[in-house]
Amino acid sequence: MLTVYGAPGWGSAIAELMLTLADVPYHFENVEGFDKPGPMQDRLLRLNPLCQVPTLQLDDGSVMTESAAIALMILDIRPELAPPQGTPERQQFWRLLIWLVANVYPTFTYADYPERFVSQAPEQLREQVIHHRKRLYVWLDEQLKATPYAFGEQLTLLDIYLCVMRTWGPRHSWFFENAPHISAIADAVCAVPKLNKVLRDNDII
């Protein structure tokens, strides 16, 4: 059985929810505290030189990192978790998935650990990055017109990202007021019975 290394509520929640949706069993290994020096960090560093979660160890012992790569791995076995091949929605799915991971996800690295990137005024960097993230979310929200999920009736892996990332800030009330489509999609994912346990384990509901 594959192992998900993570911490409740962190990026590993995205991997856990995607795997759960795809009916792939996994073992969760809690490495909370991995972002500070200590035994958890030493442990995760041995697997992932970036020391980030999600980090997966697959059945054959190989390591899998990067949530988008994990999404692609899952889509190989469960293609129905993306819009159907040959549709314009599928192209937009690829675009928005990669856009989210390439543009929005790194804002958390910069805002959570600004001192890694600047030696002066880390608070200023944090504030500007959070402002930038809000602008990204407003743009993304404008692309998401369908209901109840990003591509209509079909729940896709993009919806999983939106549900988890909404909990990372800005606050739920900010999304409700400024990114109502993301807010509604995240609420819809929170109501999926199959995901209930993992959502609760990660303090998402």
Ligand X SMILES: N[C@@H](CCC(=O)N[C@@H](CS)C(=O)NCC(=O)O)C(=O)O
In the complex with ligand X, which residue's Cβ is closer, 51 or 146? 51
For 14, counting Cβ atoms within 10 Å of its Cβ (0-12 exposed, 13-18 middle, 19+ buried), the class is buried
- The closest alpha carbon to 155, from 98, 78, 85, belongs to 78
Q: Cα–Cα distance between 133 and 128 in angstroms, integer?
A: 9
In the complex with ligand X, which residue's Cβ is closer, 106 or 152? 106
At 117, list the tokens: 């990137």
In the complex with ligand X, which residue's Cβ is closer, 66 or 184? 66
Question: How near is the Cβ of 89 to ligand X at its closest, in Å?
Answer: 22
Question: How near is the Cβ of 147 to ligand X at its closest, in Å?
Answer: 26
For the chain, give the number of residues: 205
Q: How many degrees, rounded to 5, is the angle at CA 33 between CA 31 and CA 36?
A: 130
In the complex with ligand X, which residue's Cβ is closer, 29 or 35? 35
Residue 45's CB is within 10 A of a number of other CB atoms, namely: 13
Q: Cα–Cα distance between 71 and 135 in angstroms, integer?
A: 25
Question: How near is the Cβ of 136 to ligand X at its closest, in Å?
Answer: 15
In the complex with ligand X, which residue's Cβ is closer, 51 or 205? 51
Q: What residues make contact with ligand X under the rule CB under 6 A?
A: 10-11, 35, 51-54, 66-68, 101, 105, 108-109, 113
Question: How near is the Cβ of 113 to ligand X at its closest, in Å?
Answer: 6
Question: How near is the Cβ of 34 to ligand X at its closest, in Å?
Answer: 7
Cβ atoms of residues 21 and 195 within 8 Å? yes
